[in-house]
């Protein structure tokens, strides 16, 4: 195929290239420690991150239980990773149909019971990390959206169309208070009550031991062997989106490892996690991608490669700004060469479909080059970091503590709502635990409101402002 590939030695770029000069060591180390402290105050400390992960994992389990096992719901993206506050970004929800299994080319289907629909992947004519799906066996419990997405390829073979599958789910009746937006790739975006934004992706289980065993066998510094085995056990899914420009795009599916990647992110140490957060801030506050030419997923892959190819002990709070320099340099190389290997399947180039035009490419390369020359002052480009540096420490820590408490209460309230919801989606508002959460949330908001008024701040839309 004509698409850009990757070189066998590609991961070499993610190894540490050298140390800073001794003259700048102390300044860089002190700035690194201060940056790590500020990020913890902003809600990116290990305790709050783990609390978010636990809450969203529980939310997925509760949603799964409501379907009586028909699907598995997984909260993915920055929410599932614990790296965004309640209203800071969209909630990415992956819904995996448990009545369908897709199998790698040479995996036998005899082990699956008759009610399961079995599809066979055909990847030989698709770009790396993509495949087409041939119907091998129609199960007795096949969902209508799967059944109605099966089409003939003109040669007597039945394919499952990714386009039809997404469109079928897009035509579902909406919940009261929900507004659905235009399809975005494999996802169906929607908004509840004007401010709760979510992206829902309907996916299929994919059993691909060959792909996962190849990933697991790589020599590495990270993650540890037990984490590698957990990633392998979590398997893969196929999401309904083809390779852009492929003649089979409407029937192609993309291989994803969402649950495994959440496990990988949870195995990053504190410095590696905060490095990823800084890169996401740079994307949002400095680069401002118009679409997804550079996405959080791009940056995540850079961090994963760096973690794998360098000793864990070299990632510590005194070194975060040096690692930020290395990561920005890796991003600049990716923009120059338009090549970045996917961490799970290195043959797939994440930049192959970035849609980056030449003017934007030049601008970003120039911007990142300037940032590389700025040294530790580069973090002053980030509004949240800059505001924290100039803020008074005492009120900043107080507001930070109240924000974190309100977020934890909101997450617990979110899960309790699902528990108290009946089959008609009616919530029992008389539940004592729900009422206790609401009461304490009201107290926190009142305390913040009063202090803001006393300090001369505007206190409109306070709930949204605290949780952003």
Measuring CA to CA, which residue among 385, 362, 403, 197 is closest to residue 279?
385
Measuring CA to CA, which residue among 293, 292, 295, 309 is closest to residue 343?
309
Q: Strand 117-122 to strand 236-239: parallel, antiparallel, or no bridges (unpaired)?
A: unpaired
Measuring CA to CA, which residue among 4, 33, 1, 2 is closest to residue 322?
33
Q: Does residue 349 share a domain with residue 325?
A: yes
Q: What is the CA radius of gyration of the chain?
A: 23
SS3 72: strand
Residue 54 lies in a domain: no
One DSSP character per residue, 333-361 reads HHHHHT--B-SSSTTSBTTTT----HHHH
Residue 83 lies in a domain: yes
Q: Does residue 291 share a domain with residue 242?
A: no
State the DSSP H helix or E strand holding residue 452, giving kind and residue range, or none if neither.
Answer: helix 432-454
- The two most distant CA atoms of the chain are separated, in Å, by 75
Cα 350 from Cα 334, distance rounded (Å):
9
Q: Domain boundary residue among 266, 283, 299? A: 266
* Per-residue pLDDT tens over the stretch 339-390: 999 999 999 999 998 888 999 999 999 999 999 999 999 999 999 999 888 8
Residue 231 lies in a domain: yes
One DSSP character per residue, 355-409 reads ---HHHHHHHHHHHHHHHHHGGGGGGGSHHHHHHHHS-HHHHHHHHHHHHHHHHH
Q: Inter-axis angle of helices 432-454 and 393-419, to 10 degrees?
A: 160
- What is the end-to-end Cα distance of the chain in Å, rounded? 44
Mean pLDDT of the chain: 91
Q: Does residue 456 share a domain with residue 425?
A: yes
Beta bridge partners of 421: 427
Q: Does residue 230 share a domain with residue 171?
A: yes
Residue 52 lies in a domain: no
**Can you tell me which residue has the tokens 């309904």?**
240
Q: Domain boundary residue among 233, 266, 299? A: 266
**What CATH number is associated with residue 98?**
3.30.460
How many separate domains does the chain show? 3
Are the beta carbons of 4 and 351 closer than 8 angstroms?
A: yes
Residue 81, Cβ density class (10 Å: 0-12 exposed, 13-18 middle, ≥19 buried): buried
Residue 109 lies in a domain: yes
pLDDT in tens, the chain (468 residues): 334 444 444 566 677 765 545 656 888 999 999 999 999 999 999 999 999 999 999 999 999 999 998 999 999 999 999 999 988 889 999 999 999 999 998 788 888 888 999 999 998 889 999 999 999 999 999 999 999 999 998 888 999 999 999 999 999 888 888 899 998 889 999 998 878 899 999 999 999 999 999 999 999 999 999 999 999 999 999 999 999 989 999 999 999 999 999 999 999 999 999 999 999 999 999 999 987 889 999 999 999 999 999 999 999 999 999 999 999 999 999 999 999 999 999 999 999 988 889 999 999 999 999 999 999 999 999 999 998 888 778 888 888 899 999 999 999 999 999 999 998 889 999 999 999 999 999 999 999 888 888 887 776 666 665 666
Residue-range definition of the domain harbouring residue 288: 1-44+268-379
Q: Domain boundary residue among 266, 293, 309? A: 266
Are the beta carbons of 59 and 344 closer than 8 angstroms?
A: no
Residue 449 lies in a domain: yes
Torsion of CA 392, 397, 399, 405, to 10 degrees: 180
User: HSE-up of 85 (CA within 13 Å, CB side)?
Assistant: 23
Residue 58 lies in a domain: no
* Per-residue pLDDT tens over the stretch 242-257: 999 899 999 999 999 9
Torsion of CA 315, 317, 323, 327, to 10 degrees: 100
Residue 401 structure tokens: 């503590």
Q: Does residue 89 share a domain with residue 149?
A: yes
**What CATH number is associated with residue 26?**
1.10.1410.40
Residue 51 lies in a domain: no
Are the beta carbons of 169 and 161 closer than 8 angstroms?
A: no
């Amino acid at each position: 195929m004509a698409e850009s590939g990757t070189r066998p030695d590609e991961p070499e770029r993610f190894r540490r290239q050298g140390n800073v000069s001794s003259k700048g060591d102390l300044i860089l180390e002190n700035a690194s420690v201060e940056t790590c402290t500020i990020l913890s105050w902003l809600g990116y400390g290990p305790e709050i991150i783990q609390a978010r992960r636990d809450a969203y994992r529980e939310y997925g389990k509760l949603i799964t239980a409501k379907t009586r096992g028909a699907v598995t719901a997984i909260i993915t993206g920055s929410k599932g990773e614990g790296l965004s506050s309640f209203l800071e970004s969209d909630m990415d929800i992956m819904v995996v149909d448990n009545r369908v299994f897709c199998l790698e080319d040479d995996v036998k289907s005899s082990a699956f019971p008759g009610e399961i629909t079995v599809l066979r992947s055909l990847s030989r004519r698709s770009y790396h990390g993509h495949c087409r799906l041939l119907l091998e066996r129609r199960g007795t419990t096949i969902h209508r959206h799967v059944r109605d997405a099966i089409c003939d390829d003109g040669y007597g073979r039945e394919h499952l169309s990714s386009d039809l599958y997404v469109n079928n789910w897009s035509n579902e009746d909406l919940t009261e208070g929900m507004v659905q937006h235009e399809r975005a790739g494999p996802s169906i975006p929607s908004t509840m009550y004007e401010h709760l934004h979510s992206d829902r992706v309907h996916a299929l289980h994919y059993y691909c031991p060959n792909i996962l065993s190849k990933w697991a066998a790589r020599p590495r510094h990270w993650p540890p062997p037990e984490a590698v085995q957990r990633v392998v056990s979590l398997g893969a899914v196929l999401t309904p989106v083809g390779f852009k420009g492929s003649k089979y795009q409407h029937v192609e599916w993309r291989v994803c490892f969402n649950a495994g990647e959440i496990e990988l992110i949870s195995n990053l140490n504190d410095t590696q996690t905060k490095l990823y957060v800084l890169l996401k801030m740079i994307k949002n506050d400095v680069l401002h991608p118009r679409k997804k030419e550079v996405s959080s997923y791009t940056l995540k892959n850079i961090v994963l490669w760096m973690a794998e190819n360098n000793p864990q002990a070299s990632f510590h709070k005194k070194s975060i700004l040096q690692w930020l320099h290395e990561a920005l340099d890796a991003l600049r190389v990716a923009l120059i060469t338009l090549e970045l290997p996917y961490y799970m399947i290195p043959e797939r180039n994440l930049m192959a479909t970035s849609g980056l035009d030449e003017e934007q490419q030049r601008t970003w390369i120039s911007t990142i080059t300037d940032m590389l020359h700025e040294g530790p002052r580069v973090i002053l480009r980030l509004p949240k970091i800059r505001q924290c540096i100039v803020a008074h420490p005492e009120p900043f820590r107080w507001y930070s503590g109240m924000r974190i408490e309100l977020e934890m209460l909101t997450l617990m309230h979110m899960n309790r709502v699902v528990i108290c919801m009946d089959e008609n989606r009616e919530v029992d508002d008389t539940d004592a635990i729900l009422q206790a959460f609401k009461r304490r949330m009201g107290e926190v908001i009142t305390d913040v409101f009063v202090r803001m008024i006393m300090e001369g701040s505007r206190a409109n839309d306070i709930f949204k402002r605290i949780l952003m």
